[in-house]
Structure 1
Amino acid sequence: MGAVLGLCSATQLACCCGSAACSLCCSACPSCANSTSTRLMYAVMLLLVMITGCITLAPGLQTELQKVPFCANSTNVPLVPGNFKVDCEQAVGYLAVYRICFATCLFFLLMALIMIGVRSSKDPRAGIQNGFWGIKYLIVIGGIIGAFFIPEGQFAHTWMIFGMIGGFGFIVIQLILIIDFAHSWAESWVSKYDETESRGWYAALLMAMLTCFALALAGIVLLYVFYTKADGCDLSKFFISINLILVVVASGVSILPVVQEYQPRSGLLQSSVVSLYVIFLTWSALANGPAECNGITGSDNTKKNHFDKQTMIGLIIWGLNLLYSSIRTASASSKITMSEHILAKEGSGGYDSIEGADGGEAGRGTETKVFDNEGEGVAYSWSFFHVMFALATLYIMMTLTNWFNPSDELSKENVASMWVKITSSWVCVGLYIWSMIAPAVFPDRDFN
């Protein structure tokens, strides 16, 4: 299990003992800010963990492991003398994903504790944050290997509870990033329309908004078709109906005159993106609902379908949000959407060269690959960043396992996860409405 991460991290060993951010991920770019390089490296680490988890769920892997000589119940002639046998079934399946993500989550939480109170890259702990990549990869690999020695017992059930709580937290952070993206998208296109007065930008805005609303409406219809019945499934009907009402209310609030007065570029484009995400959360929640109300799996609700459509869409949204949080600087709406601790601030001071400096031209020369932009102050909250990645690890754990209840039959029916997801969808709508009305409710505060 650790070999997969070991091979992938071999290229990072050049950064093993340096305190600078690894410039490997930015070597093809003219220059790369320290804050961006570091966030990208942690994103790569989490991506490799996800790939490792996917490998453990690969169909037929357990059958192939039976050919390994030192595995229990091996079909081949043992090559290891004595009675040395390993239960290779522990290295695959849902429990393997739980163990991998357990070690990774603890690593990010440890980093979050270490980075509490860091104000600039001049802090001695900055070297731990921005460097020693080889050592950090080895720590993660060692933690993953050690996690496989944890007795099964109540580990899966207990860790699933933490996974649902953490998954809920990341869903909220994901919504904040989506709101920030929607605001930035609208601000960019509206600005270009105002500058050029080109009808092309206006048409693009209109088409994007109508497409998102059309997909959301189609999703509502499909949810009624596949997750409700004429003579039952009242709870599913309630969830779909209440979320439909909420997205309509949120869309209406976005075009109120008082909202437009304080946020002239707030509008239906942002509402359409949020509505689409809320409908996805509703679908994800109902997929974990009672089997009799699931018209897609029905009585086959215990089938181990590792990578269904819901999982794939969840992974895509997760990956896009991870990339967005790693390379994006905070937009003008970051204070409204509460993303100023997640996204890096623009224009941070203290530019010092780290890699590729050219004598006295350090930080300005064309050879500079990575430069320190956090000498006077951190561009983002380092501690909160690691907390976010710990929650992202728990979210990916629950997504890869389809939020299954880790019982013997691994049933996809999990009422607890259904309520977690549906509650998160309500929180998401509430946060979006707050992002629109906050400037009007507190006109004396600076939200820009």
Structure 2
Amino acid sequence: DRGRTISTNSSTALKMGSAISSAASLAVTYCACSSASSICNACLGSTSPQTTGRRRSVLLLVLAVVLSLAFQYSLAPAILEKGEEKWSIIGSTIGKRMFNSWTSGCESYYSEDQIGQCAANAGVFRPTFLSFVFFVIAAVTSSIRPDFNRHVWPAKFTIYLLLVFLSIFASNSPWFSGVFLHIARIGATVFIVIQQIIIVDLAYNWNENWVGKADACDRLEWGSGAFWLRATIGACCVFYVMALAGIGLMYHYFNGCGSNIAIITMTLLGIIAVTVLQLAGAEGSLLTSSAISAYAVYLAYSAVSKNPNSLCNPQLFEPNNTYDMSM
């Protein structure tokens, strides 16, 4: 059944403002939507019926992230900066439509920088909104017919990319900057909680695995288990050093207002509390608390670095760079 895919003869090409974004999008599109099943296997490896749907779902998420970055950092600036010049060459109607669509809902902002931030954020909502709709439909159809999640993926990718292309001409308001924005806020909160649970479970399993190897080596290899214990302690130290370094850097760069200080301080107090609780419990694990601490610092940085107040966020209107995009 691995080779069963529906062949398609259509190819999708997205022209982005950035050559890197274009190359990445086209490469992923080619892998995902090729008509030959061997290309799918080359992209995803040998897949069993139990994992085919999950792997292709992950690939679609990766594609959505690539498109979101391209829309935010390449397409949105191109439309705003050249909305009256470059796009008008294509056609006055198309150029005006794109410019108005990407700036709708941004009327409350007056400076060009703020309008640019608003349009760029709305650009992210387009592929992510369609991903949300895609997975809701996939969940409903898979509950009715489970094998549907493993089939017709080339057609699914083609439809998704077509809808993403059409969304370029759709207005931000009300769906992207209104309805979906509120849904995304609730979903993001739930997702963060789920991420914390996954990290805790992963860290516990990681700790049990290495401690188990240390015990086994002590029994079978006359005390050589100390290597695994040192490795566990080393991993804890790395996570804690990263967390504390992040706290220090945030105190240094994002100390312009009380809200940032409150977020950073609560994160630091949370790290201390989690560590104390782990040490006090019989089943405690410093590896778990250190991993949670590092992740909490990342969340704190995500919050303070996106503060819309320029007094609180010195990076607000700085040019985008690879580091900020990666974070």
Percent identical among aligned pairs is 22
> Which residue is 1:107 aligned to?
134
What is the alpha-carbon distance in structure 2 between the residues aligned to residue 237 and residue 192 of structure 1?
42
Partner residue of 1:8?
Answer: 30
Q: 1:86 to 1:312 in 2, by over 3 A?
A: same
The match for 1:62 is 78
Q: Closer, same or farther in 2 for the Cα pair 1:64/1:245, shift >3 Å?
A: closer
2:285 matches 1:277: no
Which residue type is aligned with residue 193 of structure 2? V
Q: Which whole-Å CA distance do the structure 2 matches of 1:161 and 1:2 have between them? A: 31
Instruction: Spell out, residue by residue over 1:24-73, the C-alpha distance to the aligned partner (whole angstroms, 9 max, x if none).
Output: 5454x5xx433333211111111112212222334587289969x9x642
Separation of aligned partners in 1, 2:245 and 2:123:
36
Please state whether the residue corresponding to 2:267 is helix, strand or coil.
Answer: helix
Q: Specify whether residues 238 and 96 from structure 1 end up closer, same or farther in structure 2 by C-alpha distance, changes over 3 A only.
A: closer
Specify which of 34, 40, 47 is matched with residue 62 of structure 2. 47
- Alpha-carbon distance between aligned partners in 1 of 2:82 and 2:252, rounded to the nearest angstrom: 43
Within a 5 Å distance, the mapping from 1:343-422 to structure 2 comes to: none
- Equivalent position amino acid for 1:96 in 2: G
> 2:244 maps to which residue?
217
**1:127: which partner in 2?**
147
Closer, same or farther: CA 177–84 of 1 in aligned 2, 3 Å: same
Aligned ranges 1:150-229 → 2 under 5 Å: 150-158=170-178, 159-197=180-218, 198-228=225-255
- Shift in Å, 1:2: 5.4
TM-superposed deviation, 1:10: 5.7
Task: Specify whether residues 104 and 203 from structure 1 end up closer, same or farther in structure 2 by C-alpha distance, changes over 3 A only.
Answer: same
Q: Secondary structure at the match of 1:153?
A: coil
Q: Deviation string for 1:357-408 (max 9, x for gaps)?
A: xxxxxxxxxxxxxxxxxxxxxxxxxxxxxxxxxxxxxxxxxxxxxxxxxxxx
User: How many Å apart are 1:13 and its aligned residue?
Assistant: 2.8
Once residues 200 and 137 of structure 2 are traced to their aligned partners in structure 1, the CA distance between those partners, rounded to angstroms, is 29
- Relative to structure 1, is the Cα distance of residues 12 and 174 closer, same or farther in structure 2, using a 3 angstrom cutoff? farther
Aligned residue runs from structure 1 range 331-350, under 5 A: none
Aligned to 2:55, the other structure's residue is in SS state helix
Letter in 1 for 2:52: S
Q: Which residue of 1 aligns with 2:115?
A: none
Over 3 Å counting, the alpha-carbon distance change for 1:311 and 1:161 in structure 2 is farther
CA-CA distance at 1:223 after TM superposition? 2.1
Work out the CA distance in 2 between the residues paired with 1:202 and 1:224: 33
Which 5+ residue runs of structure 2 have no aligned equivalent? 1-10, 15-24, 103-118, 219-224
Q: Is the 8 A contact 2:88 2:95 kept in 1?
A: no
Alpha-carbon separation, structure 2, partners of 1:109 and 1:273? 31
CA RMSD between the two structures: 3.4
Supply the AA of the counterpart residue of 1:292: L
- 1:57 and 1:306 in contact (8 A); partners too: no
SS of alignment partner, residue 51 of structure 1: helix
DSSP 3-state at the match of 1:243: helix
Distance 1:99 1:202, change over 3 A: same
1:12–1:133: 8 Å Cα contact kept in structure 2? no
Q: Structure 1 counterpart of 2:162, which letter?
A: G
Q: Return the TM-score normalized by structure 2.
A: 0.72
Q: What is the DSSP-based 3-state SS (H/G/I as helix, E as strand, rest coil) of the residue aligned with 2:88?
A: coil
AA paired with 1:221?
A: G
The alpha-carbon distance between structure 1 residues 304 and 241, as it changes in their structure 2 partners (threshold 3 A), is closer
Runs of 5+ unmatched residues, structure 1: 16-21, 119-124, 314-448
Q: Aligned partners of 1:93, 1:249: CA distance in 2, in Å? A: 38
Deviation at 1:194? 1.0
CA-CA distance at 1:14 after TM superposition: 3.7
- How far apart are the structure 2 equivalents of 1:101 and 1:243? 28
Matched pairs, number: 276
Counterpart in the other structure of 2:48: 33
Hey, what's the Cα distance between the residues in 2 that align with 1:288 and 1:26? 35
Q: Which moved more, 1:83-92 or 1:202-211?
A: 83-92
- Tell me the distance in 2 between the aligned counterparts of 1:214 and 1:176: 22
User: Aligned residue for 2:168?
Assistant: 148
Equivalent in the alignment of 2:123? 96
Distance 1:310 1:168 in 2: 22
Say if 2:326 is the partner of 1:312: yes
TM-score normalised by structure 1 residue count: 0.54
Asked whether the equivalents of residues 251 and 271 of structure 1 are also in contact (C-alpha less than 8 Å), the reply is yes
- Give the aligned residue type for 1:253: L
Tell me the CA shift for residue 187 of structure 1: 1.6
Distance 1:306 1:175, change over 3 A: farther
